[in-house]
């Protein structure tokens, strides 16, 4: 196998796993680094727009067998107890990362992807190829993909500008059993953040919220913050008080950044959340991860025909296609996020959307893509 057919992927989330499957199927020799062994939980809203369903089926993932929920309705609540209910024109489905990531991992492994469960310490581009330093050795490849998620110490080593701007957000996730409708995703506002809840598989619901870190600093831990801040929204108070929490401690992640990120650094190709995050309020980060992996994989395949690698054409093509597909959605997400997390603005936004049904459908469409 020629050198440019060897690819290293750092990070085994949705975009990393998807890229490994597509590239291994196309005849590449793929090695993927992941710190943890599957299955494991991640902080995630666990709602996927139906735009991704046909693509996942085409990968060989039999979604129906995983028994995801089918989401067709959206609820948005304000801290004062006002609620907007609307239909989701495209709809989506709820499925835990614990189950979905493991399915993708098993499928990639069957295809022949090599998995190394160890931490990557450094990435350097030297003399036309990458030198990847991990805990247990040094590895080389002509192409490398960074799909390690929202934030990593590798971002600091690579001197990515967003890393030096402290993010004010933390994410918290629970799995619960509760009495909400199976087909509903609900977004609940509170001061300094918002929460999302939807059914996933096996009669479970995912409850995940984003909060400004200042909320936590003002209180004596997550539970105290929830009681003093989140409970001021009556919908959230009822949810917390009347649900069975499946695991005692939540999954927590700090320093979540929604700032624009670079797509390529010294020929290293970023994908998924590493390339840019849509706000959780818009609920489509998972679909974007799949789609960005598809676009990147196609750009790599198109640029490595025969025995040659046209790196310049590959990078140019990837930047153009990624920008055309996602820039507007991510920008819209950042603008919409400003309407929520403030009790007054959220109240005004919910009221406006209730009085102008066409407005809420425009917002939904701005944050959802097309079937790919």
In a domain, 336, yes or no: yes
Asked whether 107 and 20 are in contact (CB, 8 A), the reply is no
* Contacts made by residues 68-72, CB under 8 angstroms, sequence distance 24+: 68/93, 68/94, 68/95, 68/200, 68/201, 69/93, 69/94, 69/95, 69/182, 69/183, 69/198, 69/199, 69/200, 69/201, 70/182, 70/183, 71/47, 71/183, 71/184, 71/185, 71/198, 71/199, 72/183
Sequence-separated (6 or more) residues with CB below 8 Å from residue 253: 43, 150, 170, 171
Q: Which of 325, 272, 304, 306 is nearest to 30 (CA)?
A: 304
- Whether 171 is covered by a domain: the verdict is no
Sign of the alpha-carbon torsion through 42, 340, 152, 289: positive
Does residue 47 lie within any of the structural domains? yes
Give pLDDT, residue 342: 72
Domain assignment present for residue 230? The answer is no
CATH number at residue 74: 3.50.50.60
* Amino acid 297: pLDDT: 97
325 domain-assigned? yes
Give CA–CA dist 49/56, Å, rounded.
Answer: 12
Question: How are beta strands 184-190 and 69-77 bridged, if at all?
Answer: parallel
- What pLDDT sits at residue 276? 82
| pLDDT value of residue 324 | 92
Helices in 26-75 by DSSP H: which ranges? Answer: 53-59, 63-66
Cα 299 to Cα 273: distance, rounded to the nearest angstrom: 18
Q: Cα Rg for the chain, rounded, in angstroms? A: 21
pLDDT digits (tens), the chain, 372 positions:
345 689 999 999 999 999 999 999 999 999 999 999 999 999 999 999 999 999 999 999 999 999 999 999 999 999 999 998 988 888 899 999 999 999 999 999 999 999 999 999 999 999 999 999 999 999 999 999 999 988 888 888 888 888 888 778 899 999 999 999 999 999 999 999 999 999 999 999 999 999 999 999 999 999 999 999 999 999 999 999 999 999 889 999 988 877 778 999 999 999 998 988 766 655 588 999 999 999 999 999 999 876 688 999 999 999 999 999 888 877 777 777 776 767 777 777 777 777 766 666 666 666 667 889
- Within a domain: 232: no
**pLDDT for position 1:** 39
Structural domain count of the chain? 1
pLDDT digit string, tens, across residues 233-276: 999 999 999 999 998 899 999 888 777 789 999 999 999 989 88
Range of the domain at 117: 3-166+256-367
Determine, yes or no, domain membership for 193: no
In this prediction, residue 260 carries a pLDDT of 79
Q: How far apart are CA 323 and CA 127, in angstroms?
A: 29
**Is 236 a member of any domain?**
no
């Amino acid at each position: 196998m020629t050198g440019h057919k060897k690819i290293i992927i750092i990070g085994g989330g949705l975009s990393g796993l998807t890229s490994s499957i597509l590239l291994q199927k196309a005849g590449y020799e793929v090695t993927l680094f992941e710190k943890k062994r599957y299955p494991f939980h991640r902080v995630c809203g666990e709602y996927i727009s139906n735009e991704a369903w046909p693509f996942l089926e085409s990968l060989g993932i039999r979604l129906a067998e995983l028994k995801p929920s089918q989401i067709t309705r959206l609820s948005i609540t304000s801290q004062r107890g006002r609620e907007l209910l609307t239909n989701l024109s495209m709809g989506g489905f709820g499925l835990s990362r614990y189950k979905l990531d493991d399915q993708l991992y098993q499928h990639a492994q069957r295809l022949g992807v090599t998995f190394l469960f160890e931490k990557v310490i450094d990435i350097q581009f030297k003399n036309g190829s990458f030198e990847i330093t991990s805990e247990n050795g040094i590895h080389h490849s002509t192409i490398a993909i960074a799909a390690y998620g929202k934030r990593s110490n590798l971002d600091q080593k690579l001197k990515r500008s967003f890393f030096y701007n402290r993010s004010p957000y933390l994410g918290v996730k629970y799995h619960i059993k509760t009495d909400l409708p199976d087909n509903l995703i609900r977004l609940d506002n509170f001061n300094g953040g918002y929460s999302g809840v939807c059914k996933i598989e096996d009669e479970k619901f995912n409850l995940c919220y984003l909060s400004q870190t200042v909320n936590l600093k003002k209180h004596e831990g997550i539970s105290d913050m929830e009681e003093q801040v989140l409970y001021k929204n009556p919908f959230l108070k009822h949810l917390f008080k009347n649900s069975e929490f499946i695991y005692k401690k939540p999954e927590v992640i700090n320093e979540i950044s929604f700032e624009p990120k670079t797509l390529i650094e010294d020929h290293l190709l970023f994908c998924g959340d590493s390339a840019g995050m849509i706000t959780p309020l818009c609920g489509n980060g998972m679909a974007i991860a799949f789609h960005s992996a598809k676009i990147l994989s196609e750009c790599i395949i198109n640029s490595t025909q025969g025995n040659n690698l046209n790196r310049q054409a590959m990078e140019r093509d990837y930047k153009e296609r990624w920008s055309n597909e996602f820039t507007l959605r991510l920008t819209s997400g950042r603008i919409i996020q400003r309407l929520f997390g403030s009790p007054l603005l959220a109240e005004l936004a919910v009221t406006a959307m209730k009085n102008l049904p066409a407005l809420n459908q425009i917002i939904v469409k701005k944050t959802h893509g097309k079937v790919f």
